[in-house]
Amino acid sequence: MNNFWKSVTVLSAFIAAAHCLSCRQCSLGIFGTCLFGSDVNCNNATESCYRGEAQFNATGTLTLHIRGCLDSDLCGKTLTGSIVGAGYTSSFQCCTTDLCNGATSVQISLTLALCAAILSALWGTWEL
């Protein structure tokens, strides 16, 4: 019976570790304030959370801030381009822990919360 509970504990740890990466998503932020933010789950293991900035070369003062999930290959890169003739420069800083790119609150995954609830319920039934 003791081996059964050890197996359940190990399985719970694997399930909690296997959940998708959660990131803060912000499609448009100005002056450090996100206008339309939410939390999202990244699609696959190659994605990271990121904070990005896009600065328009013509103005030099307007900087847009963006956040979300990004393929790890783009982390740390600076890209240039143009939109309707206006040149821009964008850069991305990445991280790989849940909500590491600017979460406003601490959240835990549903799987982790359920595992903790099950283990705490079982804790009271174990005999020493």
pLDDT digits (tens, 9 = 90+) for 76-91: 999 999 888 888 899 9
Q: How many residues does the chain have?
A: 128
Question: Directed axis angle between helix 2-17 and helix 110-123, to 10°?
Answer: 160
**pLDDT level of residue 17 (50, 70, 90 thresholds):** very low
Q: Tell me phi and psi for residue 90, to 5 degrees.
A: -125, 150
Backbone angles phi, psi at 108, to 5 degrees: -120, 155
Q: How far is CA 68 from CA 19, 111, 127, 128, in A?
A: 17, 22, 46, 47
Handedness of CA 93, 96, 97, 99 (dihedral sign): positive
For the segment(s) 20-108, the CATH number from 3.50.50.60, 2.60.120.10, 2.10.60.10, 3.90.1710.10 is: 2.10.60.10
Average pLDDT over residues 87-112: 75
Q: Which residues, in sequence order, are bridge partners of residue 39?
A: 24
pTM of the model: 0.60
